[in-house]
Amino acid sequence: MGMDEKLAIAQGLDSLGVDVIEAGSAMTSEGERLAIKKIADSGFKAEICSYVRALTADIDTALACDVDSVHLVVPVSDLHIQIKLKADRESVVRMAVDVTEYAKDHGLIVELSGEDASRADQDFLAGLYTAGIEAGADRLAFCDTVGVLVPEVAADIFSRLSRLEAPISIHCHNDFGMATANTVAALRAGASQAHVTVNGIGERAGNASLEEVVMALESLYQIDTGIRCKDIYQLSRTVSQMTGLLVAPNKAIVGENAFTHEAGIHVHGLLADTKTYEPMQPENVGRKRRIVLGKHAGRASVELAMREFGLSVTSQQLNQIVTRVKELGDKGKRVSDVDLQSIADTVLSIQMEPKVKLEELTVVAGNTVTPTASVKILLAGNERLEAGVGVGPVDAAINAIRRAISGVADVRLDEYHVDAVTGGTNALVEVWVTMAMADRKITARGAGADIIMASVEAVINGINRLMRLEEEEIARCRKA
C-alpha cells in the first residue's frame, strides 16, 4: 500500500478504538518511512509503533519517523538463534538488553518481543523477558510465529508469564486455523494485549483476526473491548479494497455469507426469533441480514422475499414460485433478487417495461489509452448519450451508465464478483453485482462470453430493479 492507503487504514483503526497501531517497519523503504511519519504526525489517539530488529540503526530510523513506540523483535527459539542468527542464547539476551536500553534512552516505549516463542525453551524465554524488564522494557510480547500453539498450552504459558513485572502481549499466526482460539485463551489466562489484523491478513495463513477476537470477547465472554464494533465491517471492506486481498465468503464476522441464510428451516426460525440461527445481531458489526434463494429455499424464505417486494401471493402462487426457484437451484444457480422478481412477474402475469434499456455500447481500451466507454440508453423512453472513463473497460462502462441515469437515480455499485462458468478462452462468465440506492440493496447477475457485456447486463438489471422498488414504495406510501 502507498501512503494514502496506509493513512486511511490508520484513521479507520484509530476511529475503531484500537490502542496501538503498528504502522510498519521503518527499515523497509523510504516510502514506508514517509507513510509511518505521516501516520505518527496525524494526531491519532492510538499509540503509533514501528517494528524494529535488535539493531540501534533500526531504532534511529524509527525515531526519525516520530513514532511513540517500537516493537523490538528478537529470535528466542534455538532453531532461529542458531540457524537464522548463527549466534547463541547469551548474545541474543545481550542484544535485547542493549537495544532496549538504547531505545529507552531515546524516549521510546519498548515492547520486547520473542520471535518463535512457542518453540523456545520457556525458562530461557522467561529469563530474557526478565532481563528486558530490568533494561526498561515497558511491555513484552510472545510470538507464535508459525502457529503451533494450542489453546490449553497458551493458557498454561500465559498464566505463568503474566506474573512477570510487565504486561505481556500475544501474537498468533493462523497456520492451523487456531489463531483466534489461542489469542482468546492467552487473554483469558493473563495476557493484557493482543496483536491482531483486520481480516486476519498476514504472512502465510495470516494472523489473528481483529474482528474474530473482538467479537469473541464481546459476545461470548461479555468483555467490553472498547472497540466500536459497528464500524468493524466497513473497515474490513476498506482494507480488502485497498490491499486487493479478497475476504473469503465463509469468513467469520465479515465474510459475505456470515449473516446470509438460505435453508428453509433456518429462515423459518429467523422469522420467529433471529436468535434461533444467529449467534449475534448483524447490526452489532455494521452488517445486515441477507436471505438468499436456491434449492434449499423454503416457503418461508420465498414468502418473506415476496413481502419485501410488496407483492401479495396466494398459497398456490407461492407454491409455483418456490418450485421455479428450486428448479434454478438444482441447476447450480444462485437466485438473485432480479431472478426472483422475474419468476414472480411470470407467475402473477405482471408485465413491466424496464426503465433502462441499453441501445449501444462502445468501449476503447489499451496499454496507452485511458479506458473509455460511451453508451446510448433509453431511460423511461427518452434517449440519453453519455461517456465515462475508468481503471478498466468494465469500470468505464459502468461509470458511463451511472452518468447516463444521474439526476434520475443515484445508484452505486457496492460489490462486483465474476465466476467462470465454463473453461477455455471463450469461457462463459457469470457476473454478480450488489447495487444500492439510498439504504436499499439488491443483487443482480449477467452472463455471457463477453465480460463487459455480462457486467453491463448485471448492472442494468440491478438499476431496473432498484428503480422499480422505489416506484412501488412511493405507490404504497400514497395509498397509506
- Rounded distance, CA 374 to CA 282, Å? 40
Name the CATH code of domain 356-479 (choices 3.30.160.270, 3.40.50.300, 3.20.20.70, 3.40.30.10): 3.30.160.270
Spatial CA neighbour of 7 closest among 260, 242, 265 = 242
pTM: 0.74
Spatial CA neighbour of 445 closest among 410, 403, 411, 416 = 416
Q: Residue 444's pLDDT is what?
A: 83
CA atoms within 13 A on the CB side of 146: 9
Q: Residue 480's pLDDT is what?
A: 67
Given a contact cutoff of 8 angstroms between Cβ atoms, the answer to whether 344 and 306 are in contact is: yes
260-347 is classed in which CATH architecture?
A: Orthogonal Bundle (1.10)
Q: Which residues are CB-neighbours of 62 under 8 A, at least 6 positions away?
A: 26, 36, 50, 52, 70, 108
Backbone angles phi, psi at 426, to 5 degrees: -100, 35
Q: Which residues are CB-neighbours of 450 under 8 A, at least 6 positions away?
A: none
Given a contact cutoff of 8 angstroms between Cβ atoms, the answer to whether 431 and 338 are in contact is: no
3-243 topology per CATH: TIM Barrel (3.20.20)
Relative to beta strand 139-144, strand 109-115 is parallel
Domains 3-243 and 356-479 share a fold: no
Region of residue 198 (left: phi > 0; alpha: psi -120 to 50; beta: else) = beta
- Rounded distance, CA 144 to CA 130, Å? 19
What Cα–Cα distance (Å) separates residue 467 from each residue in 30, 307, 339, 441, 474? Answer: 49, 17, 16, 11, 11
The domain ranges of the chain are: 3-243, 260-347, 356-479
Q: Which amino acid is at 39?
A: I
Q: Is 192 exposed, middle or buried (0-12, 13-18, 19+ CB in 10 A)?
A: middle
Residue carrying the nine cell digits 444521474? 406
C-alpha cell at 385: 448519450
Chunked into runs of 10 residues, the chain (480 residues) has average pLDDT values of: 93 97 95 96 97 97 97 97 95 97 98 98 98 98 98 98 97 98 98 98 97 97 96 94 89 88 61 74 85 74 76 86 83 73 75 83 87 91 90 92 86 81 61 82 81 90 85 76
Q: Is 316 exposed, middle or buried (0-12, 13-18, 19+ CB in 10 A)?
A: exposed
Residue carrying the nine cell digits 494485549? 193
Given a contact cutoff of 8 angstroms between Cβ atoms, the answer to whether 472 and 361 are in contact is: no
Name 141's bridge partners. 113, 169
Cα pseudo-dihedral 473, 474, 475, 478, rounded to 10? 120
Q: Residue 351's pLDDT is what?
A: 64
How many other C-beta atoms lie within 10 A of the C-beta of residue 384? 19
Q: Residue 441's pLDDT is what?
A: 81
